[in-house]
Structure 1
Amino acid sequence: MKKILFAALIAASFNAAADNAGALRYVVGAGLTIGGDKLATATYTNGHSANIKAGSGLQVLGGVDYRVAEQVSLQATLGYHVHFTPSASNGDASFTRIPVELLAYYHLNNQWRVGGGVRYVASPELNGKGAASNIDMDFKNTTGAVLEAEYFVNHNFGVKLRAVSEKYEPKSGKYTGKASGNHIGIFGNYYF
């Protein structure tokens, strides 16, 4: 599934580039997110602990941004989103997922745009190593919604504030019910 989505994203970018030279830009970005339900807690020998949350972490992304009209643009990205505990000598834990986002924007002016769209999350997994190896759990792929505003510092660099609504359901295991992955985040994107 991941390979098919990635191939479709690349094919669409080449088609758009051929038809509308100058309207297509590539984008890479990274951001920090906070929120979501607690999935696991790592406790250290010094008494400190760290939580793994379903919406928190670091996300990196790459994709295309296509200007459809003067005030409308579309963006498609493939990313990697991870929340992890600081490594300890006896183990660590992480929650990883692969988001594919399709977003539409309305440009308020040359510096601001607002938009939203859909976020499909593939392969969400909670993993532990060492002392945390008992927390491993796979979740079902999920679909959520994204709302965001972006401020362009210049033509090539934008700062985004975003809110995401999504839920994670375990495939099987000792956990039941859905975990909220709802989160807010701040991103920096570079367009070229």
Structure 2
Amino acid sequence: MKKIAFVIAVAIASLSSAQAQNAPAEGNPLRFVVGMGLTGGGDKLATAEYEHGGSVDVRAGGLIAFVGGVDYRINRQFSIQSTVGFHVDQASAENGDVTFKRFPIELLGYFHPTENFRFGGGVRYVSSPKLNGKGFGSGIYKEFDNTVGAVVEGEYFFGPSVGLKVRLVKETYDYTYRDRRYVLRNGETKGDHIGIFGNFYF
């Protein structure tokens, strides 16, 4: 009887330990997330030159992004995150602007080696990428096809609600244009970029 009781006790202890390791971190495993980041990279799409000197490039990987979505902690080792964002680069002045904007949707998975750090990656679907201008930028207009890219990133948590992430994104925008002989041709623009984001979880 003592041996049986001992085996049962060991089995219960092992099961409890396994459940503890696989259990979500304390608190609600499903949280909302909002964030903002700066990005850089990608091909040059347009250049705005100012009357008093200087110029600003609009690039396919720039410049400011806003995101919002949900984050789910599966267990202590793994989590997933899904967000919808607005990503834009712009060169503006009093007499007009040139803007490249798009709307990314991301699904990411992470591994947590510690409670304060996680790394992972996933896919990024970019909808309605468009370059257009007004004022001094009148005549600049180009629509790109929707595209799918890849994301790799790491995130450090300063506390339960604040995270800082560094990421690398690889994506390509395809488009169709007519050359000087009015022949329809296909082109592509690299939107690869790096970024740093601050996120707030609640």
After superposition, give the CA deviation of every residue in 1:73-99 in whole Å (9 maximum; x if it has no partner).
Answer: 0000000000011x2232111100000
| Misfit runs of 4+, over 6 Å | none
Checking the alignment, whether the CA contact within 8 Å between 1:138 and 1:172 is kept in structure 2 is: no
C-alpha RMSD over aligned residues: 1.4
Kindly indicate whether residue 78 of structure 2 is the aligned counterpart of residue 78 of structure 1: no
Give the corresponding residue for 1:162.
167
TM-score by length of 2: 0.81
Structure 2 unaligned runs (5+)?
A: 1-26, 180-184
1:88-99 superposed matches below 5 A: 88-99=93-104
Give the corresponding residue for 1:177.
187
TM-score by length of 1: 0.85
Instruction: Give the count of matched residue pairs.
Output: 171
After superposition, give the CA deviation of every residue in 1:90-114 in whole Å (9 maximum; x if it has no partner).
Answer: 2111100000000000001010000
SS in 2 for 1:134: coil
SS in 1 for 2:94: coil
After superposition, give the CA deviation of every residue in 1:142-177 in whole Å (9 maximum; x if it has no partner).
Answer: 000000000000000000000000001124456852
Could you tell me how far apart the structure 2 residues matched to 1:27 and 1:40 are?
Answer: 33
Could you tell me how far apart the structure 1 residues matched to 2:95 and 2:186 are?
Answer: 28
SS in 2 for 1:140: coil
Could you tell me how far apart the structure 1 residues matched to 2:111 and 2:178 are?
Answer: 43
Could you tell me how far apart the structure 2 residues matched to 1:186 and 1:144 are?
Answer: 17
Give the corresponding residue for 1:110.
115
Q: 1:47: Cα distance to partner?
A: 2.5
Checking the alignment, whether the CA contact within 8 Å between 2:70 and 2:81 is kept in structure 1 is: yes
Checking the alignment, whether the CA contact within 8 Å between 2:33 and 2:69 is kept in structure 1 is: yes
Give the corresponding residue for 1:64.
70
Could you tell me how far apart the structure 2 residues matched to 1:173 and 1:132 are?
Answer: 20
Could you tell me how far apart the structure 1 residues matched to 2:152 and 2:47 are?
Answer: 29
Kindly indicate whether residue 48 of structure 2 is the aligned counterpart of residue 42 of structure 1: yes
Checking the alignment, whether the CA contact within 8 Å between 2:177 and 2:187 is kept in structure 1 is: no
Q: 1:56: Cα distance to partner?
A: 1.0
Give the corresponding residue for 2:38.
32
Could you tell me how far apart the structure 1 residues matched to 2:186 and 2:55 are?
Answer: 24
Checking the alignment, whether the CA contact within 8 Å between 1:38 and 1:54 is kept in structure 2 is: yes
Kindly indicate whether residue 196 of structure 2 is the aligned counterpart of residue 186 of structure 1: yes
Kindly indicate whether residue 129 of structure 2 is the aligned counterpart of residue 119 of structure 1: no
Task: Give the AA of the match of 2:88.
Answer: V
Does 95-104 or 42-51 show the bigger shift? 42-51
Could you tell me how far apart the structure 1 residues matched to 2:178 and 2:155 are?
Answer: 40
